[in-house]
Amino acid sequence: MGNTTKIRFHSLKILTGSDLSRRKLPMMWAENGIPGPVVWITACGHGDEVTGIVIIQELFALIRKYGLLSGSLYAFPIMNPIGFENISRHIPYSDEDLNRAFPGNPSGSLAERIADKIFTTILSKKPNLLIDLHNDWIQSIPYALIDPVEEGGEAYGLAVAYARVSGFATVLDTDLLRRSLSYNLLKREIPALTLELGESYVVNETNVQYGLQAVSAILSHMGMIGSICSKGGYPLPGKLKDALLHYCDKPLCSNSGILRFAVKPGIIVKKGQRVARIYNAYGRLQESIHAPAPALVLGHTETSVAYPGASVMSFGLLE
């Protein structure tokens, strides 16, 4: 039996400019008519986070070649095209964070109107899962992030299970972001998770392969594709495979100076272990930063400028 999967491309109008040009939201989908799960993959909600765009492109190229076994796959590869073109996390016209505008409002701000277009389109397909692709600090490892919800129902449990299938460390966020895309889906009992895929601004091909492998593993687990991605996944320490870590970006700096890191992302540190030091202009030690608990180092800040109240490093706490 040949590959009967059909791949389509479409665009949704999001804005008419003062010169009457239309700004559009690109959309992709693949289906083969065999009933099965419905999955959405979204990327570039923050315009400077570009790795997810390429992961979606590469995934659809593989599906074009090998086909879907069942179900339907939908994608918004660039949710924030205006931010993308301006290399901006936010929507430049209104300086809004699109991922703090869901579920949206058709009569609201620009971000709320775009969010409403995205959210209603996603809901119309009755999805079984959404995977939202993001980027973190430049020096960070890939990991799966789950939004906390006030009452974790079946969708929350499924999101955690799918995150573990990805092969990434599974991390529960500690900030309750009531206006993020994934939170609003979880509140509607639709499983949703975020994959954080390393640095922003540029396409890191290594992180593309990690992300492609992670998404493919989830789709294969759901019976939608076969083993179509041959690249290996992220080398996560075995003891963390089934762990649910808790996100932490503390302790914060108490002094100003030059920041020097003592550990690298991807290693496990002990409670109290020194992870960074701060020196003044004359090379005198001002402060040592220590791990708050046993933890996986997820990433560290993108600069060596320390100042009081600055976040130095992010952890996935093991306890």
Give the amino acid at 208.
V
Domains of the chain are 6-240 (3.40.630.10), 249-317 (2.40.50.100)
Share of residues in the chain with pLDDT > 90 (%): 87
Please give the pLDDT value at position 114: 97
**What's the confidence (pLDDT) of residue 230?**
66
| Residue 299 pLDDT | 96
Query: Please, what sign has the CA dihedral across residues 132, 150, 38, 81?
Result: negative
Residue 231 has what pLDDT? 65
Count of other CB atoms within 10 angstroms of residue 162 = 24
Residue with tokens 């997820």: 298
Share the mean pLDDT of the chain.
Answer: 94
Query: Comparing C-alpha atoms, which of 282, 148, 133, 295 is closest to residue 204?
Result: 133
Over residues 81-113, the pLDDT tens digits come to: 999 999 999 999 999 999 999 999 999 999 999
| Tens-digit pLDDT profile for residues 143-189 | 999 999 987 789 999 999 999 999 999 999 998 899 999 999 999 99
Distance CA 46, CA 27 (A): 17
Is the bond leading into 103 cis (omega within 30 degrees of zero)? yes
Per-residue pLDDT in tens (0 to 9) along the chain, 319 residues: 457 899 999 999 998 888 878 889 999 999 999 999 999 999 999 999 999 999 999 999 999 999 999 999 999 999 999 999 999 999 999 999 999 999 999 999 999 999 999 999 999 999 999 999 999 988 899 999 999 998 778 999 999 999 999 999 999 999 889 999 999 999 999 999 999 999 999 999 999 999 999 999 999 999 999 988 766 788 888 789 889 999 999 999 999 999 999 999 999 999 999 999 999 999 999 999 999 999 999 999 999 999 999 999 999 999 7
DSSP-assigned beta bridge partners for residue 145: 171, 194
Angle at 274 between CA 271 and CA 279, to 5 degrees: 150
Q: Could you tell me what percent of the chain has a pLDDT over 70?
A: 98
